[in-house]
Amino acid sequence: MVDFHKSGGLIPAIVQDADTGQVLMLAWMNREAYEETLRTGRACYFSRSRNKLWRKGEESGHVQEVRAVYVDCDADTVLLKVKQVGGAACHEGYASCFFRQVQGDELKVVDERVFDPKQVYRK
């Protein structure tokens, strides 16, 4: 299956919309997050900044229902094809975390916000 040892215990998880193919985000998984994702059918990641499991949507309600899981040729990266509930994967309120495009020396926002993060994350 997946080789967590060669990557120091964390593997990249590329997340893609199952219907459109749009890349939504990149996150990290440890073995526990990977196994929970397979067991529950909902995306679970490992938060490096918080040093704990991060169940996508636990605060926002914008969960990711996993439709398929693929493993790359080196067995050290996974691709999750998901249904993004709520229409936004990004904590900044965009459908995708890749909402900015490099244009010359600048980053230009090229997508519309789906939700206002101040309304969703009221901590």
Report the CATH number that the domain containing residue 69 is assigned in CATH. 3.10.20.810
The residue segments making up the domain with residue 97 are: 11-114
In-domain check, residue 29: yes
Asked if residue 3 belongs to a domain, the reply is no
The verdict on residue 72 lying in a domain is yes
- Which residues lie below 8 Å from residue 24, measured CB to CB, with a gap of 6+? 15, 16, 17, 64, 82, 84, 89, 90, 95, 96, 97
Question: pLDDT tens digit string along 36-78?
Answer: 999 999 999 999 999 999 999 988 899 999 999 999 999 999 9
Q: How many domains does the chain have?
A: 1
Taking only the tens place, the pLDDT of each residue in 88-122 is 999 999 999 999 999 999 999 999 999 999 888 87
- % of residues, the chain, pLDDT over 90: 85
